[in-house]
Chains A and B, each alone.
Chain A
């Protein structure tokens, strides 16, 4: 998409730190989240979940539950559509087990009752007879010859012959001559790394209210993408998509984890069966056991470097476990791994491996943080052993416009070099460290995404505007959209109300994922506003009796383009909209497209950490995020995204992990045992916004939501390893792992 009217300077609203329109409602409890929606006659639902990691379902007897007073209906797999294939079948299998329960917590039935208490009592009365099967939860063990087969026949044609049936997809890419590249190196280092699955940790559990009528229905839910929910639920229930209207509630965090459906089809099936509205709210334990964490990984990385710090060759093998279904983002892991560097000889391999765990879901730049952990750790190790500066080496090898990406294409305008140069001059990089502290650095990369987008901007008679977008606001996008509309219309930010429209109101909108919202919905908002401005100019031209091309739009007014156009007083927007009913009708701007110019994004992080070698306790004491945002529409939100990614990365690096027992059951399905960082765990996270405009957006915007979680794992591992004096190659770097590494180092 080319832009004839690209604007990169002299912004009036864009680039300012306006107040968020949803802020007051959220801090006063007025905002309606998924569990806040109610309906007259509403039933409450609860889900029967497998207590086994892998088991054949022999029989489900719900008669006792159905006999319980207050129970109005029970659904099992038999209540969903038949004949689904491919991805839809996988989603249904995950939503409600068919022949087998594939992980601890897998849904096998659900009950609707007149109260949540009765529903919870009733699920205990549903008797499920299981044949328990061998299970596997570790990615390396799942690939071994003797591993139990989780879903036979799932592998696609990409998988090389001879691999275990749990390996279901394979990726290989790269270029050059690895052998020659490694031969040209002065030092070659090869290491193996592991990371555990981590949950997105959103504060709001999944929640929905479903109301089914005769062949149609309404669904209110917390989701990152309600058109996707509509599409999937319609398939699961055998409905026409247009007969199911889905409304997105406020969302208490998603980070990728709310791009899928889990309970929504179940609530709809129960509503259809009982002919009553049905509310279904997950407990925190259910969120951990049965929604998607990220993949766990096992990775081998080999890099060759010469004495000058040039990377001569690099090779990575990335094994990702994505639960009992295909889809672990191993191709992103592979493609992101070496993306920051211009490497002549490079190869990356990815394996998507099934295990008896919940189906992984996207988590902020899915697959990329783990790749950065492995690759950047080896780069740092090479820098140390060759006596080279970490940032100098990265600058020497940095990808830039015109160099070839490790996964093939030639880069357009990108901002990695600018983030590295900003890191070099940042006071943090030269600040002295105290005893027991270590410093780490890392780069990170994410693609960003465009996707189907539809926006409507309707002007009111008083000259204010109603902006309808279809991308749920997961990071402050209502404010950013209003800023961009205000910039184009030339009216105050406060004069625009942004609404997240339901599926009956706009054309299809892809999920709020891929850091796409400020880019794609923003682009659509700008174009919709420009369409409305064109109509405003037309009305002014008609009033003045001049050509529309002789009218310009400035500061919220139509003005003659020059003295040749005639002498007319400026016509402000409110004068034009007040008369719009009698001058041609309502003025509305639309934009519907699939923007394809999402600019990629790079970041460089600097971290200081200190380690207590007696207890293994680690504390991050200083953190700086430097990232290319293209153009920061609202710098406060951009900084918030930078800080949020770093905070989640700190949790992933130091504490968070899914812990499975020998029985294959999740041992830590609550925030007491699954420890996410709290405020007291974190330093103030400093941020530097680098702005290298994206040529694919009218203001130069690049997505910022995901890249910020790519560098932390490696940067923190670097800092902790330097502080502890031992290299840590497995996440999380919990006190036990640090003490084990120190003990092992002392033993050797």
Chain B
């Protein structure tokens, strides 16, 4: 299991929690695990998210590895000008 930190605006869709646990070995499994556990998060994830794993922001790569002790934050999708 890995702990995933949600931005606090998502608490309302995760039973009031801002840290949730999912069974995942990579970023893709983190996202699918979040939707499976908390279907209310689907709209936010579908709208586009980035995932910060141990300080590195993963904007696209679903295959990036996560470990049980990884620090994982869900962020809104990053782009730029």
Contact = CB atoms under 8 A, between A and B. Distances in A.
Chains A and B are bound partners: yes
Contacts of B5: 408
Contacts of A408: 5, 7, 52, 73, 75
A156 B7 contact: no
A596 B57 contact: yes
A6 interface: no
Contact of A596 (B40, B61, B73, B76): B61
A450 interface: yes
A10 to B, nearest CB: 27
Interface in A248-295: 255-257, 259
B60 interface: yes
Interface in A146-170: 156-158, 170
B80 A366 contact: yes
A446 B7 contact: no
A412 B71 CA distance: 12
A696 B52 contact: no
A332 B79 CA distance: 9
Interface in B38-81: 40, 43-44, 47, 52, 54-61, 64, 71, 73, 75-76, 78-81
A409 B55 contact: yes
Contacts of A671: none
Nearest to B41: A157
A172 B8 contact: yes
Interface in B1-31: 5, 7-10, 13
Contacts of A335: 75-76
B43 A363 contact: no
> Chain B contact residues: over half helix, strand or loop, or mixed?
mixed
> Chain A contact residues: over half helix, strand or loop, or mixed?
loop
A448 to B, nearest CB: 7
B72 to A, nearest CB: 9
Interface string A300-340: 00000000000000000000000000000001100100000
A706 interface: yes
Nearest to A703: B80
A447 B57 contact: yes
A170 B9 contact: yes
A172 B7 contact: yes
Interface residues of A, number: 46
Contact of B9 (A172, A256, A259, A411): A172
A594 B61 contact: yes
Nearest to A709: B81
Contacts of A332: 76, 78
A516 B8 CA distance: 28
A158 B81 contact: no
Given A158-B44, A173-B8, A408-B5, A596 B55 contact: no
B43 A409 contact: no
A409 B57 contact: yes
A157 B43 contact: yes
Contacts of B71: 409-410
B59 A451 contact: yes
A694 to B, nearest CB: 11
A734 B60 CA distance: 42
Contacts of A200: 81
Contacts of A442: none
A597 B81 contact: no
A365 interface: yes
A157 to B, nearest CB: 5
Interface residues of B, number: 28
A171 B7 CA distance: 8
Nearest to B72: A409
A660 interface: no
Nearest to B8: A172
Given A156-B43, A172-B9, A408-B5, A514 B81 contact: yes
Given A362-B81, A706-B80, A449 B59 contact: yes
A366 B40 CA distance: 28
Contacts of B57: 409, 447, 596, 598
Contact of B79 (A174, A362, A410): A362
B81 A449 contact: no
A696 B7 contact: no
Contacts of A256: 80-81
A194 interface: no
Interface string A55-81: 000000000000000000000000000
Contacts of A412: 54-56
B80 A446 contact: yes
A498 interface: no
B56 A597 contact: yes
A399 B69 CA distance: 23
Contact of A515 (B43, B44, B80): B80
Which of B43, B59, B64, B71 has the most chain A CB atoms closer than 10 A to its own CB? B59
B63 to A, nearest CB: 10
Contacts of A331: 76
B60 A596 contact: yes
A410 B76 contact: no
Nearest to B55: A412
Nearest to B48: A87
A452 interface: yes
A135 interface: no
A364 interface: yes
A362 B76 contact: no
A513 interface: yes
Contacts of B75: 335, 407-409
A748 to B, nearest CB: 38
Given A158-B44, A410-B54, A594-B60, A449 B9 contact: no
A409 B10 CA distance: 16
Nearest to B27: A596
Contact of B64 (A257, A411, A446, A596): A596
Contact of B80 (A156, A411, A448, A596): A448
B56 A447 contact: no
Nearest to A169: B47
A438 B45 CA distance: 47
A24 B35 CA distance: 54
Which of B9, B40, B43, B75 has the most chain A CB atoms closer than 10 A to its own CB? B9
B64 to A, nearest CB: 6
A514 B79 contact: yes
Nearest to B5: A408
10 contacts: A157-B43, A362-B79, A362-B80, A409-B71, A513-B79, A513-B81, A596-B56, A596-B59, A597-B56, A706-B80
Given A171-B76, A407-B73, A449-B80, 5 more contacts: A173-B7, A332-B76, A332-B78, A594-B60, A596-B64
Interface of B: 5, 7-10, 13, 40, 43-44, 47, 52, 54-61, 64, 71, 73, 75-76, 78-81
Interface of A: 156-158, 170-174, 200, 255-257, 259, 331-332, 335, 347, 361-366, 407-412, 446-452, 513-516, 594, 596-598, 696, 706
